[in-house]
Amino acid sequence: MYVLWLSATEDNGGSKSVRFSEPPARNPSQDKAAKERTTDVATMAQPIRVNKQPPKQRVLTLEDLGKTPPLRNQDIRKGPRVSHRVLVFPFGEKAKDAWAKFYDLAQDEPSSMNRHLQVITELRHHLPRTCKLCLIPRKGDRNDSQHGYFVASNETPEQLALAKDLETIQRVMDILQAKKPPYWERPLRDCLSVMEHRWTSKTI
C-alpha cells in the first residue's frame, strides 16, 4: 500500500502551502522489529488449536445445578447475612494435565507449573467472558485449595440469573471437559488474575 505524506511549509510572507510527498525513509531494522512484534502479538492472540472439538459431556438440567442461593447480603439491616457463593467447575492439577494432553499443549514442558499456566492462558481464548477463574477449597480438605471456573454467582441479580443459562454452562462444561456438573461453593478469592497470582504447589 502506498501512503502519501502530508507536510505544511510557511514562506517568508507568512502564507502556508501544503504538499504531498513520499513518507520519510524507514530504517530496515525498524521494519523488521515491528513485523516481529506484530507476529508475536498475533500468535499470542490465536487459540492453539481451534479445529479440534472437545468431546461432548453429559447434558445438564437445572436439577443438576442444585438449589440456587439467595442474593449475597452483608448488611444485616436488610435481612440475614448471606455469604458469597459461586457456581463453579473445579479445575485442579489433574484436570489441567488432562486438558493439556488432549490438545497436545506443552507436553515437552518439564515444569507442571508452567504447563498449567499455559493451559489457563489458552483457556481465555475459548471460555465465555462471563466465566471467571477463582480459587476454591479442595473437596475433602478445607485447608487446601484449587482453581475453578465459575459460571454464575450470587453477587448481583444479573450474575445470579446466569445460573439458569444452561446453554452457556453446558458450553463451559464441554470446553473444560468436566465430568460432573458445577456446584455452589464459597470462593477463597472472587476472581483470579493469572498474571497477578503467585503460583504455589498448593494452588495450581
Determine the average pLDDT of the residues in 114-138. Answer: 92
Highest mean pLDDT among 14-18, 26-30, 131-135: 131-135
Give the separation between CA 160 and CA 68, rounded to whole angstroms: 8
**List of E strands, 30-181:** 86-90, 132-138, 141-153
CB 78 within 8 A of CB 160: no
State pLDDT tens for residues 150-169.
Answer: 999 999 999 999 999 999 99
Which amino acid, 4? Answer: L
User: Residue ranges of the alpha helices (H) in 61-186?
Assistant: 93-102, 112-123, 157-161, 166-176
Tell me the domain boundaries of the chain. 5-45, 62-185
Q: What is the pLDDT of residue 106?
A: 86
Residue with cell 477463574: 133
Measured in degrees and rounded to the nearest 5, phi and psi for residue 74 equal -110, 0
State pLDDT tens for residues 60-115.
Answer: 999 999 999 999 999 999 999 999 999 999 999 999 999 999 988 888 888 889 99
Q: What is the pLDDT of residue 33?
A: 53
Q: Kindly tell me if the per-residue pLDDT of 130 is higher than 60.
A: yes
Q: For residues 24 and 197, which has the higher predicted lDDT (pLDDT)?
A: 24
Q: Kindly tell me if the per-residue pLDDT of 50 is higher than 90.
A: no
Determine the average pLDDT of the residues in 11-31. Answer: 53
All three cell numbers of 148, joined, read 475453578
Question: 21 by DSSP, 3-state: which?
Answer: strand
